[in-house]
Amino acid sequence: MDKNTVREALLDHAQTLLMTHGYNGFSYRDLSELVGVKTSSIHYYFPAKEDLALEAVNAYSADLMSSIYAIDSSAPADKKLDRYTKLFGRIIGGGNRICLCGMLAADIESLPEKVRHAVQSFYKANENWLAKVLAEGEAQDTLDAGGKPEAAARTLYAAFQGSLLGCRLFQTRARLEEVADAFRR
């Protein structure tokens, strides 16, 4: 494997491990077995687990946020929310994963500070985007934010994150689809 391929494979598998086991649920040994390299090779690319986790969060965040920002800005707010819900559905994969940042939020007390800040930034970016959509939806009379789009966005985002846990627990996407419906007029 060339260097870029090894590094990409490490990040890809690290993201999956973070989404399924959390920060404290895997080691470099687990990752080395998945990628087929020695743990010393992992340390070459990511000297500490904090470095690996931070890069995994940043890559995950960049990928998901670019998908969110690619949602047609001219679409009605309720259609934007539908598209966002589908993006969250993509996270579930085969049913055993939850949002990488949602999983890490559960580990917040044991996360290194830089990783904690990256997770918080991801949450805030999602909440800010949702607040704008909810405000638009109220203006278009298609979504109900109770006149408080920022607070409603935090509630909605928490509901999306929680629904992923329920989807994983019960092996169904229905819980995710119910979340957006709660904010429709």
pLDDT tens digit sequence for 45-89: 999 999 999 999 999 999 999 999 999 999 999 999 999 998 888
Residue 178's pLDDT is 85
- Contacting residues for 113 by C-beta, under 8 A, at least 6 apart: none
- The Cα 118–Cα 46 span in angstroms is 17
* pLDDT at 1 > cutoff 60: no
Confidence of residue 33 (pLDDT cuts 50, 70, 90): very high
* pLDDT tens readout for residues 150-179: 999 999 999 999 998 988 888 887 888 888
Q: Where are the extended beta strands (E) located within 34-79? A: none
Cα distances from 150 to residues 30, 31, 154, 157, 162, in angstroms, run: 40, 39, 6, 11, 18
Phi, psi torsion values for 61, nearest 5 degrees: -60, -45
Phi, psi torsion values for 41, nearest 5 degrees: -70, -35
Weakest mean pLDDT among 13-27, 32-46, 59-73, 171-185 = 171-185
Phi, psi torsion values for 183, nearest 5 degrees: -105, 5
Q: For the whole model, what pTM was predicted? A: 0.92
Answer CATH for 49-181 from 1.10.8.350, 1.10.357.10, 3.40.50.620, 3.40.1050.10: 1.10.357.10
Residue 2's pLDDT is 58
- The Cα 133–Cα 85 span in angstroms is 13
Q: Where are the domains of the chain?
A: 49-181
